[in-house]
């Protein structure tokens, strides 16, 4: 069974961390939430407490097929400043393992020295700090073994693409159905929150 780690620093974007974790678990992909600090108890950018499954110090990277970084600028900066994290991401990239970054967290890909080699997407306004070879406008973008996405509202699509990459198209379709994606796609025109 493929194992995935979702890295949790302080002040990460809770929505992105939790949606990715729960969607991948729906697809029967084993996910460990991994705290990079000294405690399993973490707090996101909106003061939501989440108890991680493991500490970074206790994991064996060889056990994992993918590493995911949620956004949130504070959390992103903490991940980017941690050499253990940037070394791990660079190693996963070079080995062809899946690397996923959403929102501001592609900044971590820059700190790991790989952003300039790939094309991707990030939260609007972070483009210069990320430094992709080419920056796109898609909600989700895949370049080789790197999956990137834009922000909290794109997190379900990010998670579904990660499932597709890790477990196949049928698994992603199944979770999309469980999550009512086909219904939302048909009825999104009725959402008035985007109206001027």
The CATH code of the domain that includes 42 is 3.40.50.880
The answer to whether the CB of 45 falls within 8 A of the CB of 13 is yes
What pLDDT sits at residue 191? 67
What does the pLDDT read at residue 193? Answer: 64
Predicted local confidence at residue 184, as pLDDT: 85
pLDDT at 145: 98
As annotated, the active-site residues are 103
Is residue 127 assigned to a domain? yes
Tell me if 124 is assigned to some domain. Answer: yes
What domain range is 38 assigned to? 3-190
Residue 195 domain flag? no
Mean pLDDT in consecutive groups of 10 residues from the start of the chain, 196 residues: 92 96 97 97 92 97 98 95 98 98 98 98 97 97 98 96 97 95 80 66
Examine residue 196 and state whether it is found in any structural domain, yes or no. no
107 located within any domain: yes
Say how many domains are in the chain.
Answer: 1
Contacts of 56 (CB under 8 A, 6+ apart): 7, 34, 35, 36, 84, 85
Predicted pLDDT of residue 194: 62
């Amino acid at each position: 069974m493929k194992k995935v780690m979702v890295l949790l620093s302080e002040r990460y974007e809770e929505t992105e961390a939790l949606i990715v974790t729960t969607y991948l678990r729906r697809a029967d992909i084993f996910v460990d939430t991994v705290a990079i600090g000294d405690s399993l108890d973490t707090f996101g950018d909106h003061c939501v407490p989440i108890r991680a499954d493991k500490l970074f110090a206790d994991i064996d990277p060889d056990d994992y097929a993918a590493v995911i970084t949620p956004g949130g600028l504070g959390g992103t900066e903490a991940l980017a400043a941690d050499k253990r994290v940037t070394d791990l991401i660079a190693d996963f990239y070079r080995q062809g393992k899946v690397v996923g970054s959403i929102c501001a967290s592609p900044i971590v890909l820059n700190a790991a020295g790989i952003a300039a080699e790939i094309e991707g997407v990030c939260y609007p306004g972070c483009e210069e700090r990320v430094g992709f070879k080419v920056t796109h406008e898609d909600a989700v973008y895949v370049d080789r073994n790197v999956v990137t996405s834009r922000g909290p509202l794109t997190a379900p699509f990010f998670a579904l693409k990660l499932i597709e990459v890790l477990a196949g198209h049928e698994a992603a379709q199944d979770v999309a159905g469980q999550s009512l994606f086909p219904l939302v796609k048909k009825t999104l025109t009725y959402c008035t929150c985007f109206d001027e």
